Amino acid sequence: MRRLLAAACCCFLFSSLVAQKPIPSGYQGIALEEGSFIKAPFVKVVFVLEKTDISKQVATDENGAYRIDLKPGRYYVTATHPDFETYTTAPGFFVVTGKGYQTGNLFMTRKVFPMPPTTILVLRHAEAGAGDDPGLTAAGEARAEDLAHIALQAGVSAIYATQWKRTQETAQPLAAKLRKVIVIKNDMDVEGLAGEILSQHKGQTVLVVGHQPTVPMIIRELGGKLVSPVEGHDDLYIVTVYAPGKAHVLHLQYGAGARIL
């Protein structure tokens, strides 16, 4: 009989301990980039209990997920990361009920960093001869030397020309002085040219030698305003791209016998 009573007491005590064990509670979720829903890893998440200085923090893992144990109450939540704007629930709260883990996803807004300006010198080739693929005339060679003289100190990091001799020969004196290889692009691939310059030479200065019909197209593709048709060989356009799709265009003349506008 005593054994039965002892066993019953043990069972009662064990049941009481189990019943009194607190249920884990808190929040869990994923930090996501607003709009794209790309997971944001290593975000610092801080929970501050309302009307107290009590706080607890956690960081999202490599998959953007987090879980944190919290006592019941209302919590202000902030989430920070160098690449995102600070996320906050204030003046709202995350409410912990004490009945398990609740879900609280964090939608982070990616910071927009100022775009370093990219400068593109755009011009038509110098004077050329006749034929299917002519080279430069004596006047054109002199203008190419003038171009090298004025662009030598501009900090040009890349030089582009088309598949035709007249554009390559216009750029050659500058390329020789700077010891750079001329990048050859198809004359009608204006979109590809602009995309390559803005992605591979962001914040740099680039020279582009094109043709009478393509110079306005190149400037427009870079985000500049529509320019007048190119008439001669002395037009030099300085295109400064300061934001996606936005550019300032400065129109100059260069070389011997430059026209006066």
Residues spanned by CATH 2.60.40.1120 within the chain?
A: 23-108
Tell me what the mean pLDDT of segment 61-80 comes to.
96
Six-digit token string for 216: 């306005």
Q: How far apart are CA 209 and CA 230, in angstroms?
A: 13
Within the chain, residue ranges assigned H as helices are 2-20, 138-151, 165-178, 190-200, 214-221
Written in H, E and C, the secondary structure of 141-170 is: HHHHHHHHHHHCCCCEEEEEECCCHHHHHH
Q: How far apart are CA 125 and CA 209, in angstroms?
A: 6
Give the range among 10-19, 101-110, 155-164, 170-179 with minimum mean pLDDT.
Answer: 10-19
Tell me what the mean pLDDT of segment 128-143 comes to.
96
Instruction: Give pLDDT tens digits for 38-55.
Output: 999 999 999 999 999 999
pTM exceeding the 0.75 threshold for the entire prediction: no
Do β-strands 44-49 and 55-59 pair in parallel, antiparallel, or remain unpaired? Answer: antiparallel
Using the predicted structure, report yes or no on whether residue 13 has a pLDDT greater than 80: no
CATH superfamily label, 118-253: Phosphoglycerate mutase-like (3.40.50.1240)
Six-digit token string for 231: 């008439």
Backbone angles phi, psi at 93, to 5 degrees: -135, 160
Contacts for 173 with CB less than 8 Å, ≥ 6 apart: 144, 145, 147, 148
Torsion of CA 65, 71, 77, 82, to 10 degrees: -50
Give the range among 16-20, 26-30, 175-179, 247-251 with minimum mean pLDDT.
Answer: 16-20
CATH superfamily label, 23-108: Carboxypeptidase-like, regulatory domain (2.60.40.1120)
Residues spanned by CATH 3.40.50.1240 within the chain?
A: 118-253
Q: How far apart are CA 228 and CA 215, in angstroms?
A: 10
Query: Quick one: pLDDT at residue 3?
Result: 53
